[in-house]
């Protein structure tokens, strides 16, 4: 047997959970667990199982349901460090790579594909990115005046 590559497309909230999407999050979390389990079990047969967790990618199907008025698009983009939505072409390129021979040693991977959204919304101090350069200078001056802690 020459093997095969299996690719699941889930979402970032399959790992973290999220309000308002319980059935979707639960189903996709199951797919991720299955993919990782099969990667361990069936890798010896040359079968690879990987997962892509896309963040927001603007498509007619998704955004007509998730943001039908367009009221939330700016808010979504504001919480993505890369400052934009992903594209279908970028997702397709990653998918093609993971299924190709170039990725023949990638097995059991879950790849977050979200422009940094998840790490921004989960980071305890990430709200500090709103601090201006002048505010940083003030903070630095105050810190340098202390004798340590």
More confident residue, 17 or 149: 17
Is 102 noted as a catalytic residue in this protein?
no
Read off the pLDDT of each residue in 86-110 and give the average, rounded to a whole number: 97
pLDDT in the model for residue 70? 87
Handedness of CA 18, 21, 22, 23 (dihedral sign): negative
More confident residue, 149 or 77: 77
Statement: residue 81 has pLDDT above 70: yes
Least confident of 76-80, 83-87, 120-124: 120-124
Q: Edge to edge, what strands does the sheet with 110-113 contain?
A: 4-9, 47-54, 110-113
pTM of the model: 0.86
More confident residue, 44 or 124: 44
What radius of gyration, in Å, describes the C-alpha atoms of the chain? 20
Catalytic residue among 10, 11, 12, 13: 13
Helices (H), 6-132: 13-16, 22-42, 60-66, 73-78, 88-99, 117-122
pLDDT in the model for residue 87? 96
Q: Return the closest-CA partner of residue 117 out of 62, 75, 149.
A: 75
- Tell me the per-residue pLDDT of 29-80, one tens digit each, with 9 for 90 and over: 999 999 999 999 999 999 999 999 999 998 988 888 888 998 999 999 999 9
Statement: residue 92 has pLDDT above 70: yes
Domains of the chain by start residue, with CATH: 4-147 (3.40.50.720)
């Amino acid at each position: 047997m020459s093997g095969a590559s299996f690719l699941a497309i889930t979402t970032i909230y399959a790992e973290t959970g999220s309000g308002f999407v319980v059935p979707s999050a639960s189903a996709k979390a199951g797919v991720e667990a299955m993919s990782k389990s099969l990667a361990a079990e069936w890798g010896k047969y040359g079968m690879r199982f990987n997962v892509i967790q896309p963040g927001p990618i603007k498509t007619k199907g998704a955004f007509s349901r998730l943001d039908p008025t367009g009221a939330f698009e700016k808010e979504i983009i504001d919480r993505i460090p890369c400052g934009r939505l992903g594209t279908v072409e970028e997702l397709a390129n990653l998918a093609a790579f993971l299924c190709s021979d170039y990725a023949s040693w990638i097995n059991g991977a879950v790849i977050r594909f979200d422009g940094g959204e998840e790490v921004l919304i989960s980071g305890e101090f990430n709200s500090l990115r709103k601090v201006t350069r002048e505010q940083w200078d003030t903070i630095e001056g105050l810190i340098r005046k202390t004798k340590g802690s």
